[in-house]
């Protein structure tokens, strides 16, 4: 791995600062939601922590090259769908495990907070999974100049020349015989 340059170090520092600042803001938003109706407070908290997960995704997407856009079914199945179920089950009273996901006084348990962060991180990760370097296009498609490939081509051309010579000798013999 190459040593990061000054720009990359600065970007990492600002990413860490941004994540820390968001954690502090999320704490104050949660204090604010304590005065709201429980359903609205839960929805606001879910949104805050999902945005935090999204912020974590983009703060940790450091790399050279271009983003790789591909659909990741395992991420969707093992990360996004369970997180979404935990969030919905914490809000909807009729779903199984609702009592396990809701704390005293309809406050969110840590599992729901982690599910919100996982949802915010998992949705973009399902579609953009990292970075790849672009390889320069080679002018010549052959891997190695010379070698076996060149010998095979030479043998084929020799066979073609020999076949042509044999055909011309056979044609001249037919002409002399007739």
Look over the chain and give the mean of its residue pLDDT values, rounded to a whole number: 78
173 is written with which tokens? 């013999």
CA 132 – CA 134 distance, rounded (Å): 6
pLDDT confidence bin for 47, thresholds 50/70/90: very high
Has residue 135 got a pLDDT over 70? no
- What pLDDT, on a 0 to 100 scale, did the predictor assign at position 140? 52
Residues in the chain: 178
Six-digit token pair at 158? 């020799």
pLDDT band at 153 (very low <50, low <70, confident <90, very high): confident
Contact 82, 115 (CB under 8 A): yes
Q: What's residue 174's pLDDT?
A: 64
State pTM to two decimals: 0.63
DSSP-based helix, strand, coil % in the chain, nearest 5: 70, 5, 25
Phi-psi region of 146 (alpha: psi -120 to 50; beta: other; left: phi over 0): left
Examine the pLDDT at 144 and tell me if it is beyond 60.
no
pLDDT score of 151 more than 80: no
Give the H or E element holding residue 68.
Answer: strand 66-69
């Amino acid at each position: 791995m190459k040593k990061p340059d000054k720009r990359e170090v600065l970007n990492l520092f600002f990413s860490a600062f941004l994540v820390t600042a968001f954690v502090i803001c999320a704490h104050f938003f949660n204090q604010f939601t304590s005065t709201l109706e429980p359903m609205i407070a839960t929805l606001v908290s879910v949104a805050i922590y999902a945005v935090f997960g999204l912020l974590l995704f983009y703060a940790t997407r450091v790399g050279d090259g271009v983003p790789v856009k591909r659909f990741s079914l395992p991420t969707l199945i093992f990360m996004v769908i369970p997180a979404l179920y935990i969030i919905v089950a914490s809000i909807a009273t009729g779903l199984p495990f609702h009592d396990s996901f809701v704390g005293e006084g309809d406050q969110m348990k840590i599992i729901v907070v982690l599910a919100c962060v996982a949802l915010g991180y998992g949705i973009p990760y399902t579609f953009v999974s990292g970075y790849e370097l672009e390889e320069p296009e080679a002018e010549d498609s052959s891997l190695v100049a010379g070698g076996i490939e060149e010998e095979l081509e030479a043998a084929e051309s020799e066979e073609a020349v020999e076949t042509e010579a044999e055909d011309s000798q056979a044609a001249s013999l037919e002409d002399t015989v007739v």
